[in-house]
């Protein structure tokens, strides 16, 4: 449910930054504590603001718990995210939400899952990973295919061993091997043949740059995965997050309220990719 201190969806509520955990160059995780527990789902987002700087949509990077904490993983892109990057523990940040539909978990119930992420696109999938770890019987084999430009740009690197220990298969590749990297190199879409799942029966959740999403969706479809089980989350410029401002209108859909999570079937039939 959407939380607002005043009943007005445009009025944000405050949270305190508990800790800032650097992840990669220009990417940090901000753990924010709010007064009351927040009820949010993987794939949803908050409108995050700072007085005098502005407001931007940021996906939840953690699973909703009773401890009134939400993790936000933010890449410094411009004015607002730049101001957010100046936050330190104890500072106040403002939130509206959660907004958006979130990932459909029933689509993967009883099936193998392939999570495909590029760069900071791993952040919105992290709550899904946490969810599959906490509910091990819900899906079959869960595999994360993750690609970053270079080893220094891998996010949540410190957590990957724990994910492996808790049953998630994690395959990482980088575009450029640097700093003694001995792992895989190449695009994340070059990892299909390493999968031990039957793609025709599995479900995919994808997040990353649009060029990667396009390639991953198309290739998974050609490999036999049905369109409705190829699921992604899309980005668009948005001001309100609640379907009023019209900035994120794409085809006949609003990314903010109808999405940001869509199946390949919806992406294709509504023409939702922004760079057409
Ligand atoms: C639903 C949703 C969830 C998001 N989740 C996250 C997240 O978890 N972490 C994160 O770091 N970012 C996330 N983003 C992107 C984030 O909102 C933008 O980076 C931010 O709005 C940029 O604002 P700014 O003022 O810092 O930069 P600006 O000065 O507004 O923009 C800097 C540059 O980024 C481009 N840009 C701005 N917004 C977008 C966008 N939405 N898509 C593509 N290019 C854009 C601009 O065209 C410009 O080139 C999300 C966006 C959406 C729509």
Domains of the chain (ranges, CATH numbers): 13-99 (2.40.30.10), 105-270 (3.40.50.80)
pLDDT at res. 204: 98
Protein residues with CB under 6 Å of any ligand 1 atom: 45, 54, 56-59, 73-75, 77-82, 120, 123-124, 235-238, 260
Residue from 235, 241, 248 to probe ligand 1 pocket by mutation (most atoms less than 8 Å from CB): 235
What's the 77 CA to ligand 1 centre distance in angstroms?
7
Protein residue with its CA nearest to atom 29 in ligand 1: 78
What pLDDT does residue 67 have? Answer: 87
Q: Check residue 271 and give its pLDDT.
A: 79
Q: Separation of 195 CA from ligand 1 center, angstroms?
A: 32
pLDDT per residue rounded down to tens, the chain (276 residues): 455 556 788 899 999 999 999 999 999 999 999 998 999 999 999 999 999 999 999 999 999 988 899 999 999 999 999 999 999 999 999 999 999 999 999 999 999 999 999 999 999 999 999 999 999 999 999 999 999 999 999 999 999 999 999 999 999 999 999 889 999 999 999 999 999 999 999 999 999 999 999 999 999 999 999 999 999 999 888 999 999 898 988 888 999 999 999 999 999 988 777 564
Ligand 1 centre to CA of 138 (Å) is 33
How far does residue 42's CA lie from ligand 1's centre (Å)? 18
Distance 201 CA to ligand 1 centre (A): 34
> Looking at residue 1, what is its pLDDT?
43
**Test site for ligand 1: of 44, 81, 98, most ligand atoms within 8 A of the Cβ:** 81
* Residue to mutate, 29, 71, 77, 100, ligand 1, most ligand atoms under 8 Å from C-beta: 77
Cα 56 to ligand 1 centroid, rounded to whole Å: 7
pTM of the model: 0.94
State the pLDDT at residue 273.
72
Region of residue 44 (left: phi > 0; alpha: psi -120 to 50; beta: else): beta
Query: What tokens appear for 149 in the block?
Result: 């430009």
Distance, in Å, from the CA atom of 267 to the CA atom of 253, rounded to the nearest integer, reads 10
Residue whose Cα lies nearest atom 19 of ligand 1: it is 77
User: What separation in Å is there between the alpha carbon of 140 and the centre of ligand 1?
Assistant: 33
Tokens of 90: 């104890």
Quote the CA–CA distance of 250 and 272 in Å, as a whole number. Answer: 6
Cα of 236 vs centre of ligand 1, distance in Å, is 8
């Amino acid at each position: 449910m959407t939380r607002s201190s005043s009943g007005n969806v445009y009025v944000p509520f405050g949270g305190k930054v508990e800790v800032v955990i650097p992840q990669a160059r220009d990417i940090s995780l901000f753990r924010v504590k709010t007064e009351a527990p927040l009820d949010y789902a993987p794939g949803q987002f908050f409108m995050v603001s700072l007085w005098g700087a502005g407001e931007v949509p940021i996906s939840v990077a953690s699973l909703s718990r009773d401890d009134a904490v939400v993790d936000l993983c933010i890449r410094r892109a411009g004015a607002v995210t730049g101001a957010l990057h100046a936050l330190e523990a104890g500072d106040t940040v403002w939130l509206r939400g959660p907004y958006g539909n979130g990932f459909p978990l029933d689509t993967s119930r009883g099936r193998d899952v392939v999570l495909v992420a590029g760069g900071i696109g791993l952040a919105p999938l992290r709550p899904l990973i946490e969810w599959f770890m906490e509910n091990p019987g819900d899906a079959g084999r869960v595999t994360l295919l993750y690609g970053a430009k270079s080893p220094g740009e891998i996010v949540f690197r410190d957590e990957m061993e724990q994910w492996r220990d808790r049953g998630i298969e994690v395959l990482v590749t980088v575009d450029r091997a640097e700093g003694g990297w001995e792992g895989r190199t190449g695009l994340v879409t070059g990892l299909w043949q390493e999968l031990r799942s039957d793609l025709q029966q599995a479900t995919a959740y994808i997040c990353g740059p649009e060029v990667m999403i396009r390639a991953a969706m198309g290739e998974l479809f050609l490999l036999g995965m049905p369109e409705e089980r190829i699921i992604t989350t899309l980005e668009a410029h948005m001001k309100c997050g609640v379907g009023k401002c019209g900035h994120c209108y794409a085809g006949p859909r609003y990314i903010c309220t109808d999405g940001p999570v869509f199946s390949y079937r919806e992406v294709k039939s509504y023409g939702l990719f922004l760079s057409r």
